[in-house]
């Protein structure tokens, strides 16, 4: 059903595994923009929820300041 000649192939298996799934082209928007590379990298990390904020550092037992360094009022998080 996944190929025209009904033969198994690695590509037909790959298509079958992701049939019906959807993808968001965030990476296209980020990496094809005119922003500097360090901004692109930060946006990519943020979209993957991989920024090293205080809450993420705390989960791993690493030292971190207890509050946001910008407002000094709230706990630092990606949001």
Give residue-wise pLDDT tens across range 14-70.
Answer: 878 877 777 777 888 898 999 999 999 999 999 888 888 888 888 889 888 878 888
In a domain, 1, yes or no: no
- What residue numbers bound the domain in which 62 lies? 25-79
Residues in Cβ contact with 63 at an 8 Å cutoff, skipping those fewer than 6 apart: 57
pLDDT attached to residue 2 = 64
64: left (phi over 0), alpha (psi -120 to 50) or beta: beta
Does 63 fall in a domain?
yes
Distance separating alpha carbons of residues 44 and 11, to the nearest angstrom: 28
Please indicate, yes or no, if residue 37 is contained in any of the structural domains: yes
The total domain count for the chain is: 1
Q: Please, which residues have CB within 8 angstroms of residue 68's CB and are 6 or more apart in sequence?
A: 54, 74, 75, 76
């Amino acid at each position: 059903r996944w190929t025209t000649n009904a033969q198994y192939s690695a590509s037909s298996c790959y298509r079958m595994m992701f049939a019906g799934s959807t993808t968001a082209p965030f990476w296209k928007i980020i990496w094809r923009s005119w922003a500097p590379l360090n901004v692109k990298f930060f946006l990519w990390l943020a979209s993957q929820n991989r920024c090293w904020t205080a809450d993420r550092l705390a989960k791993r037992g690493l030292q971190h300041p207890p509050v946001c360094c910008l407002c000094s009022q709230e706990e630092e998080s990606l949001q």
